[in-house]
């Protein structure tokens, strides 16, 4: 297994500073966000699309620091019913085009989420009641989600991209194992999982059990931890819309690796990945509001070095 990161984790650094820091940390791989919900701090999507020389210089700088590029990321909501959806769709297609031009076979993203009929904003249905929930879900899946993804898979395959890695995230159509397989069964095996265990942790699932169920559908892994805060969660449960900077009051928080689940748990997680045949990148995503990015990255890399399985 290789240790990498999505470079937004050090989004406060310039491109050159980020590369130096990545080498200092001993990382092997990098994942670059190209836009949508990311500000794309380290890549100019349009400049990269427009110029082979720009792409070559970019890749050379990465390689000069002993690093490789394993994925591009365009996480956003191309299914948004408002103008945002069109913009996110365009960035999604452009990111896939760039991956093709760079010989990168994986694009990390989210499924997106449409509204219901006539809605101006996305509508995340996670209960079967009131009765209209079923009607909204039928509309979302049959009229929006599946048709969109069939077209995107065809678009990607025509460009030689065989792996669209969906992060199972709240407020998305695909947010757990069951919904990932629902989409995959409908549009084919180009769709797989970017499995980030931090999300099922707060939603009440067991990431290790989920890994065993997903099996070969895991195309990529984000390494991020969550700590469920016992007292707030005990009072209100884990459905919590308070912003992340209110971490002292929230029922759960994204946290540096090891501060939510210790090394023993992460060893079990890596073992489960190895058991289903995943022997690839663990891409650290630092979103801990309590630790600085570099401190969080150092601690996360240290933990993964102790738990990652390397048989070579």
Give CA separation, 14 vs 10, 49, 70, 223, 293, in Å: 9, 20, 20, 23, 13
CB atoms within 10 A of CB 286: 25
Q: What is the DSSP letter of 129?
A: -
* Residue 89 confidence (pLDDT) above 60: yes
Q: What is the mean pLDDT of residues 245-261?
A: 97
- Report the run of H or E that residue 5 belongs to, with start and end: strand 2-6
pLDDT value for 309: 81
pLDDT value for 73: 98
Cβ pair 4, 12 in contact under 8 A: no
What tokens appear for 187 in the block? Answer: 């549009």
- Report the run of H or E that residue 305 belongs to, with start and end: helix 293-307
What tokens appear for 46 in the block? Answer: 């349009």
| Residues 2-37: tens digit of each pLDDT | 999 999 999 999 999 999 999 999 999 999 999 999
* Residue 84 confidence (pLDDT) above 80: yes
% of the chain at pLDDT higher than 70: 99
What tokens appear for 309 in the block? Answer: 């399985």
| Residues 212-227: tens digit of each pLDDT | 999 999 999 999 999 9
Domain covering 2-307 assigned CATH 1.10.3720.10 in the classification: no
% of the chain at pLDDT higher than 90: 99
Query: Following DSSP, what letter does each residue of 116-137 receive, concatenated?
Result: STT-SS-----SS-STHHHHHH
Q: What is the DSSP letter of 108?
A: E
Spatial separation of the C-alpha atoms in residues 19 and 66, rounded to whole Å: 9
CA-closest candidate to residue 7, choices 93, 67, 56, 90: 67
CA geometry: angle at 304 spanning 301 and 310, to 5°?
125
CB atoms within 10 A of CB 75: 27
pLDDT value for 99: 98
What tokens appear for 97 in the block? Answer: 């085009």
Q: Taking all residues of the chain, what is their mean pLDDT, rounded to a whole number?
A: 97
What tokens appear for 185 in the block? Answer: 């069964």
pLDDT value for 307: 95
Spatial separation of the C-alpha atoms in residues 219 and 170, rounded to whole Å: 19
CA-closest candidate to residue 228, choices 245, 204, 256, 208: 204
Q: What is the DSSP letter of 244?
A: G
Name residue, tokens 């308070």: 242
Give CA separation, 309 vs 194, 211, 262, 286, 296, in Å: 19, 16, 16, 21, 21
Spatial separation of the C-alpha atoms in residues 220 and 175, rounded to whole Å: 15
* Residue 282 confidence (pLDDT) above 70: yes
């Amino acid at each position: 297994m290789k240790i990498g990161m999505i470079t937004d984790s050090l989004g406060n650094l310039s491109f050159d500073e980020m590369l130096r820091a990545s080498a200092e940390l001993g990382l092997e791989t990098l994942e670059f966000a190209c836009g949508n919900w990311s500000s794309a701090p380290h890549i100019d999507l349009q400049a990269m699309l427009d110029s082979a020389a720009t792409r070559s210089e970019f890749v050379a700088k990465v390689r000069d620091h002993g690093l490789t590029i394993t994925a591009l990321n365009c996480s956003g909501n191309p299914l948004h019913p408002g103008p945002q959806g069109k913009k996110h769709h365009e960035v999604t297609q452009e990111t896939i085009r760039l991956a093709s031009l760079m010989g990168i076979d994986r694009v990390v993203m989210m499924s997106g989420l449409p509204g219901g009929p006539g809605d101006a904003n996305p509508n995340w249905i996670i209960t079967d009641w009131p009765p209209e929930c079923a009607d909204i879900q039928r509309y979302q899946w049959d009229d929006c989600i599946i048709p969109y993804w069939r077209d995107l898979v065809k678009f990607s395959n025509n460009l030689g991209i065989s792996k669209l890695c969906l992060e199972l995230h709240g407020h998305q159509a695909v947010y757990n194992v069951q919904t990932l397989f629902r989409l995959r069964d409908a549009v084919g095996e180009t769709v797989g999982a970017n499995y980030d265990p931090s999300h099922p942790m707060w939603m009440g699932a067991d990431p290790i059990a989920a890994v065993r169920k997903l099996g070969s559908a895991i195309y990529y892994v984000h390494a991020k931890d969550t700590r469920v805060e016992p007292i707030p969660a005990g009072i209100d449960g884990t459905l919590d819309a308070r912003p992340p900077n209110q971490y002292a009051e929230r029922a759960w928080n994204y946290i540096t690796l090891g501060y939510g689940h210790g090394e023993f748990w992460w060893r079990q997680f890596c073992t489960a990945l190895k058991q289903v045949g995943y022997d690839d990148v663990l891409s650290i995503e630092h979103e801990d509001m309590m630790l600085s990015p570099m401190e969080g990255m150092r601690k996360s890399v240290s933990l993964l070095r102790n738990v990652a399985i390397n048989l070579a």
